[in-house]
Chain A
Amino acid sequence: MSTVAPVFQGESPQSPPSYLKAGHTIKSWLLTGDHKRIAILYLIAVSVFFFFGSIAASMIRVELVSPRGVMLENDTYNKVFTAHGIIMIFFFLIPAIPAVLGNFLLPIMIGARDLAFPRLNLLSWYLYVAGGLCALLAMAFGGVDTGWTFYTPYSSMYSNTNVTLTIVGAFIAGFSSIATGINFIVTVHKMRAPGMTWFRLPLMVWGSYATSVIIVLGTPVVAITLLLVVMERVFHIGVFSPELGGDPVLFQHLFWFYSHPAVYIMILPAMGVINEVITCFTRKRIFGYHFIAFSSLAIAGLGFLVWGHHMFVSSQSMYQGMVFSLLSYLVAVPSAIKTFNWTATIYKGSVRFQTPFLYVLGFIGLFVVGGLTGLFLAAMSTDVHLTDTYFVVAHFHYVMVGGTIMGFLAGLHFWWPKFFGKMYPDNWGKLSALIIFIGFNLTFLPQFVLGYLGMPRRYHYYYFAPEFQFWHIASTAGASILAVGFLIPAVYLLWSLKYGPDAGPNPWGAKGLEWTIPSPPPTTNFVEIPVVREEPYAYDAEADEREERVPAETKR
């Protein structure tokens, strides 16, 4: 029985053209209201920023090969790591999954023709690009040296670099994020197809919804905070600077009130992707649907109560630190619920080791390492030792990069045939997944050791401890492998657009409304709005075998 929609709405002579063929002019792309086209615009823009951010990362890793530094002056090094942080966080990790995969899939997954506000959606892309250009211009013409955190009073009173323009860029990009968040919330509340109840929503939608709640509540706070920094910098309206009567720790409170939840803006959508992929490639229903759905909301809620763990050594009171430490431990509970449920889903599943699933396994591995090392940092006594060392760097790369990039690539490989109707070579996909996993661990595992031994972050040399060189060289070698791992998918995915075999509407034999429409989907998604009659992830491995509905892996 076909699951969610009564009839497969395949291509027929009178079916509407796909969204890719709905217009061929550049204008038809740049003025589109179609959530799918906007997702593709985002995919292109996000990839460009990822490229720039990666170049900055490579410069950091090359610099640290030698104890006295290789090529960069100390000022330049400060600008490079700042550029790396700002580009990767504000312009890659935060928008990557919601704005690309979420934009494309969220309306289709709930059975809608578009997001509730298509023009707002387009505006969000333009804001994103405008913000990104501001930041890139600031970096091209002199750079910024504050670190991505813009700590006051250095950023507001002392730094002689392009802080204002960079902050304007981040500020504008924040409103792009807010626009997406509002759009997703309204769409999930008001645009669900008949029968698509809250507990029939794919868990990716739950993840995107929880993310949107964080965006809507958190982003405005960092926006006003950055605005106050600019006002202090430009007009000397003092709020944070002690010489003007202000309190710099207030900046840290306001900044981390957003920027800690921002980590969950990056990871929650990735977790959503994992649910979709893991069920398809184990041919099983998700284990503990309700627990996963509510753990997303729990992470979103708890995420707002833990910002103080970034400030254990910032002069906040010890009792405040204890409360934040305890609350930070609590975040481990919903995270563990998810991880255990995914593991239980794999257990006794008919696992098919194809590219998206390899990325899922990578995600679980890296996220567990990143999450557990987070507990070290949430404990005040160890944090005092590890603050501002490479241990912190390794930890947040495991969570944010390991989690988000693995989730992004898993989703991109899973839905690529839906995006473009073309299949990529699975063997190359598997190879690159393996290379990325190995490269990632080789890059960041040594950094845990470095941090434990006392290597401070944001230093461009370590001649005081030449014995660190071994670990730094290992890390740089890993980064090189990682770069190769990222280049391979870029090549074969682009190759597949022209030469890949047609994927058909449902190459994975997956459930979910997006697989009931043609690939690539028509502009209005559905000829007729479907009526949902079944729970999500209604996989049945035995029925698959009986009906041989699942194409053999080797064919692709």
Chain B
Amino acid sequence: MSMKTEALQAAHGAEEQPLHHQFEELPQQNESYVVGMWVFLVTEIMFFGGMFLAYVLYRWRYSEAWFEAHTKLDIPLGTTNTVVLLTSSLTMALAVHFAQLRNKRLQLAMLGATIGLACVFLVIKAFEWSAKFQHGLVPGPNFTWEGLVPAPQAQLFYSLYFGMTGLHALHVIIGIVVIGVLALLTALDHPLVKNDFIPTELVGLYWHFVDIVGIFLFPLFYLIPK
């Protein structure tokens, strides 16, 4: 009780972080949110994990067909996108840094840069995908494959390519929305985020996770060795 009172007094006195009713003190609150985010990321790893397992199984089983299938992917575009994504991780880390320093202007600038880079990523991805549509490489009734390896095996490569990069792109879109909301609330000095760098840190953790998935996807699909 006394600790809570002190914390509350401190909050009123020195523009401290707000303390939510279920917590007794600020470190407890901050750690709870961070631990919660990490546990959520564990569930995300398991969520992607099911698809990675499918990838391992089929790449091992149809390695020749998958090598042939992967040659139709655009490596320069994929490399560019990876660089874009990595750079967005840097701007996100800087956003967290400036949030901790309570430098609102630079924090907003970095959040904006992250959103911008994420949009660039999506635009490049859209170009890549539309090329696949033109070449009949989208799984389904219109899938066309002229090669020595069996078509269903090559189609499976593109099933997982679209499934996994699609799920990743969905996470990028969710990330853009979440970062956008965070930036908006920060700009408006909303009580949910005012004087509190934890929301930015949580969004940052999520964004780095999205990046790491991208880093795994790039070599798995674009750089299959013979």
Contacts and interface: CB of A to CB of B under 8 A. Distances in A.
Given A115-B22, A244-B139, A220 B43 contact: yes
Secondary structure dominating the interface of A: helix
A181 to B, nearest CB: 8
B28 A178 contact: no
B54 A250 contact: yes
B5 to A, nearest CB: 11
Contact of A220 (B47, B150, B162): B47
Interface in B23-44: 23-24, 28, 31-32, 35-36, 39-40, 42-44
Nearest to B162: A237
A438 B120 CA distance: 66
Nearest to A232: B159
Q: Interface size for chain A: under 10, 10 to 19, 20 to 34, or 35 or more residues?
A: 35 or more
A182 B21 contact: no
B43 A182 contact: yes
A245 B153 contact: yes
B43 A191 contact: no
Secondary structure dominating the interface of B: helix
Interface stretch (A223-231, A319-327, A349-357, A404-412): A223-231
Contact of B152 (A118, A183, A238): A238
A284 B165 CA distance: 57
B188 interface: no
Given A182-B40, A186-B32, A238 B159 contact: yes
B22 A236 contact: no
A528 interface: yes
Contacts of B49: 220-221, 224
Contact of A186 (B39, B50, B58, B62): B39
B176 to A, nearest CB: 21
A247 to B, nearest CB: 7
B156 interface: yes
A186 B46 contact: no
A235 B155 CA distance: 13
A330 B31 CA distance: 36
A114 B22 contact: yes
A244 B141 CA distance: 10
Interface in B125-171: 139-141, 150, 152-153, 155-156, 159-160, 162-163
Contacts of A239: 54, 156, 159-160, 163
A228 B150 CA distance: 22
A497 B140 CA distance: 58
Contacts of B28: 190-191
Given A113-B21, A190-B32, A228-B54, A236 B152 contact: no
B14 interface: no
Interface stretch (A211-219, A359-367, A422-430): A211-219
B24 to A, nearest CB: 6
A535 B142 CA distance: 67
Contacts of B24: 529
Given A112-B22, A117-B36, A224-B47, A235 B139 contact: yes
Contacts of B51: 224, 228
Contacts of B23: 116, 191
Nearest to A257: B50
A58 interface: no
A427 to B, nearest CB: 40
B57 A236 contact: no
A15 to B, nearest CB: 15
A189 interface: yes
A185 interface: yes
Contacts of B32: 116-117, 186-187, 189-191
A117 B152 CA distance: 46
A466 interface: no
A236 B35 contact: no
A243 B28 CA distance: 54
Interface in A228-282: 228, 231, 235-239, 243-247, 250, 253-254
B50 A185 contact: no
A195 B95 CA distance: 38
Contacts of B150: 245
Nearest to B62: A245
A244 B155 contact: yes
Nearest to B142: A236
Contacts of B216: none
A113 B156 contact: no
Contacts of B31: 190
Interface in B164-217: none
Nearest to B49: A221
Contacts of B39: 181-182, 185-186, 216
B35 A189 contact: yes
A171 to B, nearest CB: 11
Contact of B57 (A219, A223, A238, A250): A250
A236 B159 CA distance: 9
Residue of A190, A244, A250 most packed against chain B (CB within 10 A):
A190
A182 B36 contact: yes
Interface string B45-63: 0111111011001100110
A189 B43 CA distance: 17
Closest 9 CB pairs of A and B: A245-B152, A220-B47, A224-B50, A114-B22, A220-B46, A245-B156, A190-B32, A236-B140, A186-B36
Given A178-B43, A182-B43, 4 more contacts: A116-B32, A189-B32, A216-B39, A224-B48
9 contacts: A114-B21, A185-B35, A186-B35, A216-B39, A219-B46, A221-B50, A235-B140, A245-B156, A245-B159
Interface of A: 112-118, 178, 181-183, 185-187, 189-191, 216-221, 223-225, 228, 231, 235-239, 243-247, 250, 253-254, 524, 528-529
